[in-house]
Amino acid sequence: MARAMWKGAIQFGLVTIPVKLYLATESDYTIRFNMLHEKDLSRIQMKTWCPVEDKPISRGDTVKGYEYSPGEYVVITDEDLEKVPLKTVRSIEIEQFTKVDDEETAKTRFVKQAYYVEPDKIGRKPFYLLRSVLQEEGLKAICKVVIKDREALASLDPFAETMLLTTLHWPDEIRSTVELDLPEDDFEFKPAELAMARQLVSAMTGEFNAKEYKDEYRDALMQVIESKIEGHEVKAPEPVEEGGKLIDLMAALEASVNAAKAARTDKPVSVAEAKKARATKADTKTATRTKAAARADDETEAAPAKPRKRKTA
């Protein structure tokens, strides 16, 4: 069974709902590499070193310290952290409720970590009452909570059979877009360009099924690793066609729409699939026209000649 990484309560108004938090994501499938000494391929060791005693020490001999003056530290224990005079140390304090599609709420897209919320038995009724209201009204709760010795801004949203607590970046942590090289003037689009772009989006629109997507880079990397283990030469992939060239936007959109319609499946159509489908469709059309022309010639040769009628005065 999953282990709760935080225990506390959701607080809003005078309502207290005891809950537990569980990590909603995992990355155990990530391929990890070890650092080796290039000369003999021995695995190097990262040791915790004490510069005073000039020798390695164990992690158990370390403590947390805050440098309040150059070279001067004060030790902070777990008991000290539990005494921090802040309500959010053991509670998810709901500050306000806001519309999910609110413009300012767009900043909640800058997420850090997601947690599943599990209510204790004693708090199930108020928990699901809150979840029901948020779902019906299209709202999310903006709250604050202390996790791993840091207070975090968070969003509480209905999710599946429970709710999802998502920690967010503080506003001063989000960089401004003024640092980007963006055009100052708005682009003007021709009606035909807008119509064609809408057709392309429509042709590639479908129900999202997360099971259809997987980490293809991991599989490709494993193929490289297995080839190296077996002593085979690793072949480089085909070079990607360089972009940045000027193109006819309308021609590109029209070709993309036709290819997307031809290769329409239940999942979005990639650029490579669209090009392949377009080429296949063109070959099919050419073959069909050739067969039709040949059939017409055969029928003309096989048909008997009709006698010509003489005109009478």
pLDDT in tens, 97-153: 988 776 666 667 788 999 999 999 999 999 999 999 999 999 999 999 998 888 999
Q: Judge if 131 and 274 occupy the same domain.
A: no
Give just the sign of the alpha carbon dihedral 252, 255, 261, 265: negative
Whole-number percent of the chain with pLDDT over 70: 78
- Please, are residues 92 and 8 in contact by the beta-carbon 8 Å criterion? yes
Range in 160-169, 210-219, 295-304 the model is least confident about:
295-304
Mean residue pLDDT across the chain: 80
The pLDDT of residue 215: 78
Q: At a CB cut-off of 8 Å and minimum separation 6, what does 161 contact?
A: none
Q: How many domains does the chain have?
A: 2
Higher pLDDT pick, 276 / 214 = 214
SS3 label, residue 249: helix
How many CA atoms does the CB half-sphere of 246 hold within 13 Å? Answer: 0
Q: Judge if 11 and 133 occupy the same domain.
A: yes
Tell me the average pLDDT across 177-182. 86
Report which residue type is found at 23: L
How many CA atoms does the CB half-sphere of 313 hold within 13 Å? Answer: 0
Give just the sign of the alpha carbon dihedral 28, 29, 33, 34: positive
Q: Is the pLDDT of residue 272 over 90?
A: no
Q: Is 128 exposed, middle or buried (0-12, 13-18, 19+ CB in 10 A)?
A: middle
Q: Which two tokens stand for residue 210?
A: 């997360």
Q: Judge if 194 and 142 occupy the same domain.
A: no
Q: Judge if 109 and 155 occupy the same domain.
A: yes
Q: Judge if 120 and 164 occupy the same domain.
A: yes
The pLDDT of residue 241: 63
Report if residue 307 sits inside a domain. no
Give residue 177's pLDDT band: very low, low, confident or very high (50, 70, 90): confident
Q: Judge if 285 and 144 occupy the same domain.
A: no
Q: Judge if 198 and 262 occupy the same domain.
A: yes
Q: Judge if 193 and 278 occupy the same domain.
A: yes
- Residues β-bridged to residue 151: 146
Assign residue 107 the CATH number of its domain: 2.40.290.10
SS3 label, residue 203: helix
Report if residue 99 sits inside a domain. yes
Higher pLDDT pick, 183 / 281 = 183
- Please, are residues 115 and 22 in contact by the beta-carbon 8 Å criterion? yes
The pLDDT of residue 186: 86
Report if residue 309 sits inside a domain. no
Q: Which domain holds residue 126?
A: 6-26+83-174
For residues 204 and 246, give the distance between their C-alpha atoms in angstroms, rounded to a whole number.
24
Higher pLDDT pick, 268 / 89 = 89
CA angle centred on 82, ends 81 and 84, rounded to 5°: 70
Tokens 């709710």 -> residue: 163
Report if residue 220 sits inside a domain. no
Higher pLDDT pick, 85 / 46 = 46
Range in 204-213, 282-291, 302-311 the model is least confident about:
302-311
Range in 82-96, 226-240, 279-293 the model is least confident about:
279-293
Report if residue 241 sits inside a domain. no
